Amino acid sequence: MNTEILGIIAIFVLTILLAIPLGKYIGKIFNYEKTWLDKIFNPLDKLFFKFGGIDANKQMNWKQHLVALLTINFIWFLLSMFVLTNMSWLPLNPDHNPSMSGDLAFNTTISFISNTNLQHYSGETGMSYLGQLVVMLFQFISAGCGIAAAGVVFVAMKNKTTSELGNFYSFFVRSCTRILLPLSLIVAVILAFSGTPMTFKGKDTMITLQGDTVQVSRGPAAAFTAIKQIGTNGGGFFGVNSAHPFENPTYFTNIVENIAIILIPIAIIFSLGYVLKRKRLAWTIFAVMIVGMLCLLIPTIISEMHGNPAIAKMGIEQNMGSMEGKEVRFGSAASANWAIYTTVTSNGSVNAMHDSLTPISGLCAMLGMMVNAFFGGVGVGFLNFYIFIILAVFISGLMVGRTPEFLGKKVEAKEMKIAMIIALLHPFLILVGTAIASHVYTGNPANYAAWLNNPGFHGFSEMLYEFTSSSANNGSGFEGLGDNTHFWNIACGIVMLLGRYLPIIGPIAIAGILANKKYVPESAGTLKTDTGTFGLMVFAVITIVAALSFFPALSLGPIAEHLSIK
């Protein structure tokens, strides 16, 4: 078997083997069971709660959880805007990088507090070290918010009838200290010992193999890169992200970072089974997600390993596959694997340039974000999937002539209205945003050179990808798009804002409403949600509601591009 394929299989198997025990550990954290890290982090947690004036034992209903989440995110927004617009005179700026403009700071701030990490700037020249540290902080706390939100929904699903769903601040702090911090520390140490810089010194003078003297940027990249992967953040310390040899020096670090991308999103599913004591339900959800991911992963690997048809027509051999925009130290298969891992989650980091993917691969990468329910970001990935579970339960109930029920709670009109709004929000943001961008582009000749280097099918794909990435809180891009403009900074900022918080508000609201309802014991006529049949139903709902909504837009972009070079 091809060694590249063996590497991909090894990454997949290792991830599953690590995710199962990690899922149990996360479940214990949600259940407030004793873990071996309590002796270390209990005093630290108490210090945070005392400093913040927080009673971590106070129970909250679902509305109070949302108020807490939105309030602290607004405070982080103000802090980030101040730092990013004043970096030039603030400390930790040895390379004298300038402050950001208001619109770019707006985009960057929303990007990092929303766990998107879309970057309309180049990290080594667009940020001071202080700015990098601030957004590194947001990579922890935005991921912590996502895990805390999942914890709230888990508690609501677990209890029979209650309005008390735990304490948001407690879930949030425990997620950061007991999950994100230890895992990030392990990955950061591995990266630092593998050659990733970890310093606050400025640029260093180096001599290239050609004998040229160059100034090379460095910084606290090992710590930054670790949490960018573990927290499904994806924001790169350097402009080309994990294609940069400092962020991702070797094939070994590529494996480590690849596993880190999807480890917690998979573990969260197994933690659900532990919290609810319904392992079959967890495995059913996992099966649906993994089948969906493989439907995107396999065509992408095949397409990239077979090379670009347009180059093949020129009589040029592509023994290594399609290598445009890829690093030789990784190869086409490992780059294709990363592209799907990073887009089925809300990670968005890259080890190759997605703008150079073959059309089929670009299509699959976009579909991973358009569906936005196959693992997704830490915590919020399950929340997106939860919406499709509610839809599938309702449709299935109507098909058999019974009142839809999920975990002993009747799913009625109110929950369905919320679920449909959230399910339709994602395609609305992407398709409307792309339509407006297309109109603005064609209506203003000045945009031709400023926005797209590749007008036509691929140029449309670049705009479609940008809004898809923003709405899915992914952050990757087809970087042929000139995106550091007022239009793209403001438009993507708004889409990221709506695409992050409404899909959190909706599932928490549904879970909270269901938790308040009277528990109905299961009977012989109860729809089983932990079977292969129900898994197929959920997969069908995802395909119809999510994937097919984008077919017309995809036909104008990657599908048309594929047919034009075939």
Q: What is the pLDDT of residues 362-418, one digit of tens each?
A: 999 999 999 999 999 999 999 999 999 999 999 988 887 777 888 888 999 999 999
CA–CA distances in Å: residue 42 to residues 49, 264, 476: 11, 22, 36
Task: Check: pTM over 0.75? Answer yes or no.
Answer: yes
Q: How far, rounded to the nearest angstrom, does the alpha carbon of residue 332 sit from its chain's CA centroid? A: 22
Tens-digit pLDDT profile for residues 464-489: 999 999 999 999 999 888 889 999 99
CA–CA distances in Å: residue 472 to residues 309, 344, 511: 30, 10, 21
- Range from 32-41, 59-68, 303-312 that averages highest in pLDDT: 59-68
Q: Is the pLDDT of residue 119 over 90?
A: yes
CB neighbour list of residue 257: distance below 8 Å, 6 or more residues apart: 187, 191, 225, 229, 242, 248, 349, 351
DSSP label of 550: G
Q: Are 470 and 464 in contact (CB under 8 A)?
A: no
> What residue type is assigned to position 346 of the chain?
S
How many angstroms separate the CA atoms of 470 and 495, rounded? Answer: 6
Q: DSSP string covering 339-396, please?
A: HHHHHHSS----SB-GGGS-HHHHHHHHHHHHH--SS-STTHHHHHHHHHHHHHHHHH
How many angstroms separate the CA atoms of 566 and 362, rounded? Answer: 15
Q: Is the pLDDT of residue 1 over 70?
A: no
Q: Is the pLDDT of residue 522 over 90?
A: no
Burial class (CB in 10 A: 0-12, 13-18, 19+), 185: middle
Region for residue 32 given its phi and psi (left: phi exceeds 0; alpha: psi -120 to 50; beta: otherwise): left
CB neighbour list of residue 69: distance below 8 Å, 6 or more residues apart: 145, 148, 149, 168, 504
Q: Are 145 and 179 in contact (CB under 8 A)?
A: no
Q: Are 349 and 256 in contact (CB under 8 A)?
A: no
508, 509, 515, 518 alpha-carbon torsion, rounded to 10°: -160
Q: What is the pLDDT of residue 311?
A: 86
